[in-house]
Amino acid sequence: MAIGVIGGSGIQKLDVIIVKGEHSVDTPFGKPSSKIVEAELGGEKFYFLKRHGDGHIHNPSEINYRANIYALKSVGVTHLISISAVGSLKEELAPTTIVLPDQFIDWTKGKRERSFFQSGVVGHVSVAEPIDKKLQEATASACKKAGVKVSVGGSYICIEGPQFSTKAESNIYRSFGASVIGMTNVPECFLAVEAGMSYLTLAMVTDYDCWKDEHCTVEEIMKVMDSNYKSVQTILGHLIPTLAKNLPPRSLKNENVVMTNPALVSNKINEMIKVLMK
């Protein structure tokens, strides 16, 4: 079992790690966003992938989510920490707060491939509880050790982007009771569950979206992102060594989910399934 970290906006690198190597991985779904960095932190190994690619070149709907998850699984990742910048939909979740949501609302528009089970194979995986609770508890503890304000629970609503919401849309999302808004964790979270991974979103609040009548410039957001970047590195400094020494068992949701007659499944798809199920 191994730990993986996906870095989103503002987390293109990690200054606190020792880079041990890089893996260029081909997948049945094309190339992932970037090479997978094999890294060490506190003497413990983990893998790091840049969600938006080197230099932040992929917008949220251009990311090859299937390739990213498959590539991480193929190098052995079983526990995945997804670091993401988000807007807050609640007054109490101020900028610089770390939010650990436990639910997702998919408000994307059908442009993204959201399942491995297609093109000749059908599988149905439950995503009723997409976040691994043990991983969430360990991350909340690391946030507290780092002295960072953390809020556990709530829903992350994922929009297509790359534009931000209109004020009317932002108020609709607030009426749903959602806590934060982002552009990348769907279908990433669902694909991780299909791949048998324990998944955790570490959401860094940068602003109040646009529902709140509050002046917010790009420069101000960048200052918040810089603060969040420093916080995340401190959090990972506590989290990675602790997790690596005592990884919680996975609660597999992808066992016995394939509905297609095995005799009708191609060798290529069977190889893909083997990677997802291991």
Q: Is 207 a catalytic residue?
A: yes
Output the CA–CA distances (angstroms, integers) from residue 197 to 26, 120, 187, in the order listed: 19, 23, 14
The arithmetic mean of pLDDT across residues 60-65, rounded, is 97
pLDDT above 70: percentage of residues in the chain: 99
Q: Is 209 a catalytic residue?
A: yes
Could you report the per-residue pLDDT of 109-142, keeping only the tens digit for each? 999 999 999 989 999 999 999 999 999 999 999 9
CATH of domain 2-277: 3.40.50.1580
| pLDDT at residue 61, rounded to an integer | 95
| pLDDT at residue 215, rounded to an integer | 64
Catalytic residue among 15, 102, 132, 207: 207
Exposure of 48 by Cβ count < 10 A (0-12 exposed, 13-18 middle, 19+ buried)? buried
| pLDDT at residue 188, rounded to an integer | 98
pLDDT classification of 214: cutoffs 50, 70, 90: confident
Could you report the per-residue pLDDT of 9-58, keeping only the tens digit for each? 878 778 888 899 999 999 999 999 999 999 999 999 999 999 999 999 99
The arithmetic mean of pLDDT across residues 81-87, rounded, is 96
| pLDDT at residue 218, rounded to an integer | 73
Could you report the per-residue pLDDT of 191-208, keeping only the tens digit for each? 999 999 999 999 999 999
Q: Measure the CA–CA gap between 195 and 208, rounded to whole angstroms.
A: 33
Report pTM: 0.95
Specify the range with the lowest mean pLDDT, choosing from 1-15, 84-98, 162-176, 224-238. 1-15
Q: Measure the CA–CA gap between 61 and 51, rounded to whole angstroms.
A: 11
